[in-house]
Amino acid sequence: MRERAFVSNERRVDSVNKVTFIHTADLHLDSPFKGLKHFPEELFQRVQNSTFASFERIVEHAVKRKVDFFIISGDLYDEEDRSIRAQARLKRQFQRLDEAGIAVYIIHGNHDYLGNYWSHLEMPDNVKVFGAEVEEVIHPTNGGREVHLYGFSYDKRHVLERKAAGYPPARKDGDIHIGLLHGSEAGETSAHEPYAPFSLTELKEKNYDYWALGHIHVRQLLSASPPIVYPGNIQGRHRKETGPKGCYAVTIENEEAELEFIETQEILWEKTSISLKEETKLSQVFELCKSEMERFRREGGTFLEIELTDIEKIGAEVLQKIQSGEILEAFQDGEEYQEDFVWVHSLRIKENTGVGYIEGQETFLNEMIQNIQGWDDQSWDEASSVLFLHPQAHRYIDSLQPEEKEEIKEAVLSMLQTSFSYKD
Question: Over the chain (424 residues), what is each successive 10-residue block's mean pLDDT?
Answer: 54 66 96 90 96 98 98 91 89 98 97 78 96 96 88 93 95 90 81 83 97 98 98 96 98 94 98 90 94 94 96 87 94 97 94 51 68 71 65 60 66 62 50
For position 391, what pLDDT does the model report?
Answer: 62
What is the crossing angle of helices 362-373 and 402-419, to 10°?
A: 180
pLDDT, residue 350, reads 83
* Listed residue (21, 20, 22, 25) closest to 245, CA to CA: 25
pTM: 0.84
Amino acid at site 84: I
Q: Residue 13's pLDDT is what? A: 44
**305 and 350 Cβ atoms separated by less than 8 Å:** no
Cβ atoms within 10 Å, residue 135: 18
- Exposed/middle/buried for residue 173 (C-beta within 10 Å: 0-12, 13-18, 19+): exposed
How many residues appear in the chain? 424
Side chain identity, residue 244: P
Percent helix, percent strand, percent coil in the chain, to nearest 5: 30, 25, 45
pLDDT score recorded for residue 108: 95
Cβ neighbors of 184 (< 8 A, separation 6 or more) are 190, 192, 193, 194, 195, 196, 197, 198, 215, 216
Q: Cα separation of 377 and 402, whole Å?
A: 10
- Cα dist from 372 to 100, 220, 348, 367, 408, whole Å: 55, 33, 18, 9, 10
Q: So what's the pLDDT on residue 322? A: 92
